Amino acid sequence: MQGADYWPSGKRLLMDPTFHDRLSTFDLEKELGEASTLEEESPKLRLLREDLLLHPDWDSFQAGKVFPPAEVLCKWMAASEKYYTKRRV
């Protein structure tokens, strides 16, 4: 994957003993921001979509082969982006 290398920070995050708790209490609206129209899209949502979800190498199944929990996290990120985008429309 070209561009930013998210693996070092991802590894630290996955090794964080509080990660599960933080993930289970994650507030999508707060983190990605409230927006009523597509023109007001959150920069974090745009980054998630453009840098990760739309990247040609993005494949949750392949990520799961390397590290099984990564497949679940990849699917969760894709579902979060889809939920947030549809909720704003």
Q: Each residue of 27-55: pLDDT tens digit?
A: 777 766 655 444 566 777 778 888 888 88
Binned at pLDDT 50, 70 and 90, residue 26 comes out as confident
Does residue 5 form part of some domain?
no
Phi, psi dihedral angles at 61 (to 5 degrees): -65, -45
Instruction: Write down the pTM of the prediction.
Output: 0.62
Does residue 60 form part of some domain?
yes
Mean per-residue pLDDT, 60-68? 85
Does residue 17 form part of some domain?
no
CB count within 10 Å of CB 54 equals 10
Does residue 19 form part of some domain?
no
Number of domain units in the chain? 1
Give the structural domain span for 76.
41-89
Does residue 75 form part of some domain?
yes
